[in-house]
Amino acid sequence: MNHMEEPRALSHALHYGWVFWFMHRSPEEFWAVYSHLRRPSDLPNISDYHLFKQGVRPVWEDQVNINGGKWIVRVKKGLASRYWESLVLAIIGDQFDVNDEICGAVLSIRGSEDIISVWNKTSSNGKINLKIRDTIKKHLSLPSETTMEYKTHNDALRDNSSFRNTDVFR
């Protein structure tokens, strides 16, 4: 005589049958990379993230950037992760509504503060530049007293006030 009981006898019957479904789709190319990046708050000091349009190098001398400039926002430690994510989503979601003016953005993690900058290709168009500033303020929900500075790449090159492209001011 077999003393082993059937597995069914040990289980508890449910009122209804239930099915597990598992679906997985690989994320789109952008999200496949973005989802694996370290959060800005987890980056060591003297680190930079650059997000630029395909074909545009994150250097002043690139033909798309050379006549442009950047809006610069200095933020307190601990805020960069939220601000950076909001900015990235606004950029890739075409929230700036300035045609192809946005070249990219840079996040610079530094000792006492972090620096976010949005690069655009035409520094001489004041109306577009103000629209970019206002869009940054809106999407980052920046406090009204937040100081923002616009710097043309030509000025930065001329006065050597920035170390290359990392937005560290002397």
Tens-digit pLDDT profile for residues 60-92: 889 999 999 999 999 999 899 999 999 999 999
Q: Does residue 60 form part of some domain?
A: yes
Q: Does residue 19 form part of some domain?
A: no
> Which residues have CB under 8 Å from 151's CB, separation 6+?
69, 70, 72, 161, 162
* Helix, strand, coil distribution of the chain in percent, nearest 5: 30, 20, 50
Q: Catalogue the E-assigned strands of 8-101.
A: 47-52, 69-76
- As a whole number of angstroms, the distance between CA 63 and CA 139 comes to 28
Find the CATH number of the domain harbouring 129: 3.30.760.10
Of residues 140 and 25, more confidently modeled = 140
pLDDT band, very low/low/confident/very high, at 50 (cuts 50, 70, 90): very high
Range of the domain at 142: 40-159
Q: How many domains does the chain have?
A: 1
Tens-digit pLDDT profile for residues 87-112: 999 999 999 999 999 999 999 999 89
Q: Does residue 52 form part of some domain?
A: yes
pLDDT band, very low/low/confident/very high, at 143 (cuts 50, 70, 90): confident
- As a whole number of angstroms, the distance between CA 58 and CA 52 comes to 7
> Which residues have CB under 8 Å from 17's CB, separation 6+?
none
Q: Does residue 24 form part of some domain?
A: no
Q: Which two tokens stand for residue 64?
A: 């798309």
Q: Does residue 30 form part of some domain?
A: no
